[in-house]
């Protein structure tokens, strides 16, 4: 018998169904055995592990997806069919390689031409600027296939105007891949945001010598704003996460890449979304901005 602390995740069923615009959609069901949590009261970055939620049919019709092109839909590709045994806090590397081999084999059976076609180039519909948190894998939560989403992830989904890495990803996505949707995506239960709330209670001092705290310095300043300070309990964390997404969207809009794209007539739209870990769904903050100004929630792009 497996140890009760072992968490087992498996794909229970993958079935195609017709989604919007007649495209097939994936439904992925996760089964958990004895989910457990981990916490450390002395470290705000140590987060509680939440059970994964079912990716359901309504996700494709969510307000976040309403801004995406009508042809943004995944093919009927298998994702992962092996059992995955977690020993302590991480899956064994051997299991990961085994799972990858099984996935590649399954894809080849269903779409023999898929990997060859993928190797010929990419034309993603979305640039996802998100958090590095392992519970927010963009391709899975959007039920997307390889090649659909161009990605930049870091701690607490920051887009800092002095960060050459983020600026380079944005430039490549817009100028060379011609992506027309850029989304800054925060998420609930963000450990980086929780750490910033704690740090904001201390007097502001000189820049830290620790890279992580330097990285989160601007978010810590956000946590000192009256709107966040005035929030009570867990609501303060939710407010900070939302304000952070708004701030990073504002930074993306300031870039020469976006401004030049608009001057050139490109229809690039920048969005602000939050992924709800408890529900497995993405919430649109309604702050999308395009070349003609703010885009109405639910508008067709």
Active site residue: 10, 36, 111, 135, which one? 135
Residue 131 designated active-site: yes
Instruction: Mark whether 235 is an active-site residue.
Output: no
Rounded CA gap, 139 and 31, in Å?
Answer: 19
Element housing 185 (H / E): strand 181-187
Residue 190: C-alpha distances to residues 167, 269, 281 (Å): 23, 25, 15
Q: Which of 67, 148, 189, 190 is catalytic?
A: 190
Q: How big is the chain, counted in residues?
A: 301
Tell me if residue 196 is catalytic: no
> Which is the catalytic residue, given 187, 189, 271, 283?
187
Catalytic site includes residue 187: yes
Question: What is the token pair recorded at 190?
Answer: 């963000």
48 is catalytic: no
Active-site residue among 7, 25, 67, 133?
Answer: 133
Catalytic residue among 7, 25, 67, 131: 131
Q: Which of 96, 65, 92, 72 is nearest to 82 (CA)?
A: 96
Query: Is residue 126 classed exposed, middle or buried when 0-12, 13-18 and 19+ CB atoms within 10 A define those classes?
Result: buried
Asked whether the beta carbons of 274 and 185 are under 8 A apart, the reply is yes
Give 87's DSSP letter.
E
Radius of gyration for the alpha carbons in the chain, expressed in angstroms and rounded: 20
- Active-site residues, by number, are 131, 133, 135, 187, 190
């Amino acid at each position: 018998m497996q140890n009760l602390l072992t968490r087992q995740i498996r794909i229970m069923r993958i079935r195609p169904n017709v989604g919007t615009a007649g495209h097939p959609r994936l439904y992925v069901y996760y089964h958990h055995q004895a989910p457990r949590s981990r916490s450390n009261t002395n470290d705000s970055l140590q987060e509680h592990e939440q059970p994964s939620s079912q990716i359901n049919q309504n996700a494709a019709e969510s307000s976040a997806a309403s801004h995406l092109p009508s042809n943004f839909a995944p093919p009927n590709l298998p994702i992962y069919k092996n059992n995955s045994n977690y020993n302590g806090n991480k899956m064994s590397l051997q299991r990961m390689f085994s799972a990858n081999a099984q996935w590649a084999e399954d894809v080849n059976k269903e779409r023999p031409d898929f990997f060859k076609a993928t190797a010929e180039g990419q034309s993603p519909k979305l640039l996802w600027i998100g958090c590095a948190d392992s519970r927010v894998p963009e391709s899975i939560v959007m039920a997307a296939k390889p090649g659909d989403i161009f990605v930049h992830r870091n701690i607490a989904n920051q887009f800092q105007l002095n960060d050459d890495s983020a600026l380079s990803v944005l430039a490549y996505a817009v100028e060379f891949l011609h992506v027309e949707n850029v989304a800054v995506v925060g998420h609930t239960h963000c450990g980086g945001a929780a750490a910033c709330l704690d740090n904001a209670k201390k007097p502001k001092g000189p820049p830290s010598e620790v890279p992580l705290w330097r990285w989160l310095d601007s978010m810590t300043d956000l946590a000192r704003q009256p709107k966040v300070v005035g929030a009570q309990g867990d609501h303060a964390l939710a407010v900070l996460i939302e304000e952070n997404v708004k701030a990073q969207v504002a930074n993306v809009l300031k870039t020469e890449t976006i401004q030049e794209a608009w001057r050139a007539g490109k229809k690039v739209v920048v969005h602000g979304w939050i992924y709800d870990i408890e529900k497995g769904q993405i919430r649109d903050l309604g702050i999308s901005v395009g070349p003609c100004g703010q885009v109405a929630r639910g508008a067709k792009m």
